[in-house]
Amino acid sequence: MKLDKTLTDKDLGQIIAQMTLEDKAKFVSGKDVWSTQAFEKYNIPAMYVADGPHGLRKVRKTTSNQLGNTIPATCFPTASALGSTWNVELIEEISAAIGKECQANNIQILLGPGLNIKRTPLNGRNFEYYSEDPYLSGKIAAAFVRGVQSQGVAACIKHFTANNQEHERMMNSSNVDERTLREIYMRGFEIAIEEADPWTMMCAYNKVNGIWANEHEWLLTKVLRDEWGYEGIVISDWAAVNKADRAVHAGLNLEMPANKFSSDKIVQAVKNGTLDEQRLDTVVKPLLRIALKTNNLKQVNTELDLNIHHTLAIRAAEESIVLLKNENDILPLDLGKLKSVAVLGRFAETPRYQGSGSSNVNAYKEENALAQIRNILGNHIEINYLPFYESRGDKYAEADLPKAIDIAKKSDVALVFIGLPDDFEAEGLDRLHADLPESHKALIREVATVQPNTIAVLSNGAAVEVEEWERDVPAILESWLSGQGSGAAVANILFGKTNPSGKISESFPLRLQHNPSHLYFPGSNRNVDYREGIFVGYRYYDTKSMEVMFPFGHGLSYTDFEYSDLVVSSKEFSDTDTLKVSCTIKNIGKRAGAEVVQLYVHDKVSELPRPIKELQAFTKIHLESGASAHVQLELNRRSFTYFDTALGEWFAESGDFDILVGSSSRDIRLRETVTLHSKQKRVRIFDKFSPLRDLQDHPIGRPFVEKMLQNFGTSLDADKPEDYEAKAIFLSLPLIKSVNFSQGTFSEDMLEDFIRKINA
């Protein structure tokens, strides 16, 4: 659903022309915590706002507690779980359901999705974000936006940009070079805007290279509006604004929550001449457009069936869950071979299915794994349950450890539910380490020593370290924080009622210290330097050929898939062409299942450092046993480019590229090499410190290099062993050193003239 073009700039301009300066300043400052200003005299309605990256969180009007006492709603899987579905159609279906709940509760703006990059596993808010990969994040976010806005509700993509930690989130500066910003931290936002046209966007708390994100004119105006053509509004994160007049000048449309002092400052700045009133009008116009549009799209008496949404929440959880390990096909469990099952860990009965903070949904219903296991097993299989650890923190009764061991010993299989409690990862605080609580580790460690059929079920919002005990358990199920249906979904997968199809959307390193940002996180003196640059997640691990616990895109199934018949539409193509890549996927196992087909691109030779592979396309397909499907993916110019800061644009470099198709970033099944003929040409500008080797292919530079090489007793074409050293030394010299070695025949003035000629 696009922005309403019937509301022309002329129509909006006429309304703005009637507004007083004071009213315009109030309009861009909000009314209270959850609504915008209404002006009856101008027929401008209020908009009501609510949190909602994985479900509606609407605060009751009667409460003063802004994080609690919210209305019941459907809690779908959190973003880290939804990212692991790789299913854009499912995401759109989920977000449409959330949009419908918004309409039923008079909400015009839903604050979601979050698509910040998972730079480090330690970010306490990682459960709200999809992936370490910007392409996957952008595609899923675009689907989420389409679903919400199909219901006439504005989605709000957030937080723009480089908002990757909670430590000093309102104080620090994320210091990132432009190439890294463009390729990693802004790319997902760009995709979401291009493909889904979100009506609203939220900027971040932090500074970006020393400038507050809400005061960043380069971000909010030059890139967002002038380059990307964004027509929606930019909202501040709650209480992020420090200088309201500067924020308005930069392009911020709405400060939230309301701040009377801000509207006064804006009025004063206009009167003082430090803020142009036309600039204020520029930010009022899109805000007015969205207020009128969402009001026109209100649906009165929207009927909800939350039981239907609950069924969808279970299905979403099932597709989110990832089977990380399954030695000897221990899963799914065979009911015919079981007499007793140990269920250990409080999360089995009291699941942790969402994160803490502003995204916390008051789930109207919830499933727990223990109850569903009892439903599946019935009365003929014994179930032995022990909660063991406390629901929060790291505490457990030492006397319970022998009990857990005894229960595990006398059972046929042990299902151990472990993960991260609320106080280990939450909005407002980062994790101190990537490990599990000692209570959870003690449980899995001790049980695994006595029970070879120990299955670990993880509940966490981001990657955790499992190396200490992973080798001792035959199976690991990553359930993430997968919403109110997570308990039923986990049990259904354990006992084969559902075939797992999730793929992790972030790498699991062996140890936290292997993470590329580890040395620079969380920064110091209110600065965090992104020195790892573009090498985030698998871009780093795969390029370094570093061993990981579980690679990006990994996820097992109860069936097997065969890849074959890779075909590209052309072995040689132009950067204006669309390259079509097709292959055949066959389910060669005995169960129906789903596979995520992932396409990565590798630039074989590049002027600038690039990751060894980058995700550029994917699709998820469902196949019955024995069935095959013809899969076609498309690559466009951007699939092969990098951002060249010297040129200030995305550059498509001519050359050979590997097309890699597989089941994860480390499980490549098919490959083909293609050649790109780019219409872009790099214009090299030489100066006196350019190396002489760069001139050897230049029509004017080559004769000069040949002449200078004569002083070394060699030439460019010389191929004798004794010539190699002389050529290597000479060609590495900067151009200015030609003056030193010319024996007085070549002056600095002559050098300057020569440089002008070759640059011409």
Q: How far is CA 131 from the centre of its chain?
A: 4
Strand runs (DSSP E) across 88-199, as ranges?
Answer: 109-111, 154-160, 173-175
Q: How far is CA 80 from the centre of its chain?
A: 9
Q: At what angle do helices 134-149 and 187-196 cross, to 10 degrees?
A: 30
H-state helical runs in 19-160: 21-27, 79-83, 88-104, 134-149
C-alpha neighbours within 13 Å on the C-beta side of residue 306: 18
CB within 8 A of 327, min separation 6: which ones?
474, 475
- Measured from the Cβ of residue 576, the count of other Cβ atoms closer than 10 Å reads 11
Burial group, residue 711, by CB count within 10 angstroms (0-12, 13-18, 19+): middle
- Measured from the Cβ of residue 20, the count of other Cβ atoms closer than 10 Å reads 12
In degrees, rounded to 5, the angle at the alpha carbon of residue 279 between the alpha carbons of residues 273 and 280 is: 90
Whether residue 320 contacts residue 77, with contact meaning beta carbons closer than 8 Å, is answered with yes
Cα–Cα dist 507/549, whole Å: 8
The one-character DSSP state at 638 is G
Total number of residues shown for the chain: 760
Q: How far is CA 162 from the centre of its chain?
A: 11
Beta pairing class for 211-212 and 173-175: unpaired
b/e code 259-286 from CB counts within 10 Å (16+ = b)? beebbebbbebbeeeebebebbbbbbbb
Whether residue 561 contacts residue 663, with contact meaning beta carbons closer than 8 Å, is answered with yes
Residue 292 host element (H or E): helix 277-296
First to last CA, the chain: 50
What are residue 597's phi and psi, to 5 degrees? -90, 120
- Measured from the Cβ of residue 432, the count of other Cβ atoms closer than 10 Å reads 9
Query: What one-character-per-residue DSSP string does 410-425 give?
Result: TSSEEEEEEE--GGGS
Told to judge if 237 belongs to the known catalytic residues of this protein, a careful annotator would answer: yes
Cα–Cα dist 560/553, whole Å: 16
Q: Which two tokens stand for residue 259?
A: 């701040």
Of 51, 133, 197, 237, which residue is the catalytic one? Answer: 237
Give the residue from 292, 295, 244, 287 showing the smallest Cα distance to 268: 244
Give the residue from 341, 350, 475 showing the smallest Cα distance to 414: 341
Whether residue 606 contacts residue 642, with contact meaning beta carbons closer than 8 Å, is answered with yes
Residue 602 host element (H or E): strand 593-603
Give the residue from 109, 121, 132, 117 showing the smallest Cα distance to 202: 109
Cα–Cα dist 596/580, whole Å: 18
Whether residue 134 contacts residue 184, with contact meaning beta carbons closer than 8 Å, is answered with yes
Cross-strand bridge partners of residue 471:
none
Q: Which residue type sits at 352?
A: R
Catalytic center residues = 237
